[in-house]
Amino acid sequence: MKKVRSIVIVDYGMGNLRSVAKAVESVGGNALISDLPSVIASAQQLILPGVGAFKAGMEGLVQRGLIEPLRARLTDGTPVLGICLGMQILFQQGEEGGFCNGLGVIRGTVKHFPINNGTGRLKIPHMGWNQIATTRDGGRGTGDTCPLLRGIPDGTFMYFVHSYYPEPLDPSVVAARTSYGIEFASMVWQESVYATQFHPEKSQRTGLQLLKNFVELTC
């Protein structure tokens, strides 16, 4: 029988922790919610969730002393999944409320959706179900899709709630794209770091499949 490792869900004061934990548990994972630097530093897998503003999220990490432990895990091969705000703060900067530095693991900036893209006024936030178009290999030349997308068909609908979107500088990190007035990166994959702008914990069967794939990465 495969040994199931605990997946630490990082608590930095930005909500939706229990819904993520319940979803992880429903696909066979052991979820542990923690805001302790020592727990983050020793975790074998991490989920960085979040709902809210970029700057407030970074302030929450600073207040809990989590910046350095997280940066270490994001660069040492530990599987990490960022969700929504947890995806955005992986980038170098966010422009919400004025530019604010993020964790800087993925090069690029988090920007506000254009209110009008030339074809009509967009409703902001982007809220509800929308499709993801998977990128075969993100330009890596391997022909592979992201491991977390195994069993998830191209064009699958996922659930979104956000007013800002990430714009990576390196197109090879993009694992899936979504269109909402503009085309944006709705999922990124850089070595052992994975992140989704959509909420897998709210995306029913296909979202749970993504979480199951993450849980099973190191089993």
List active site positions. 84, 199, 201
Residue 121 DSSP symbol: B
Please report where in the chains the tokens 């850089």 appear, as a residue. Answer: 190
Q: Three-class SS of residue 194?
A: strand
Q: Within its chain, how far is the Cα of 51 from the centroid?
A: 11
Residue 95 tokens read as 């422009």
Q: Which helix (H) or strand (E) holds 206?
A: helix 204-215
Q: Where are the beta strands (DSSP E) in 22-98?
A: 30-34, 46-48, 80-83, 91-94
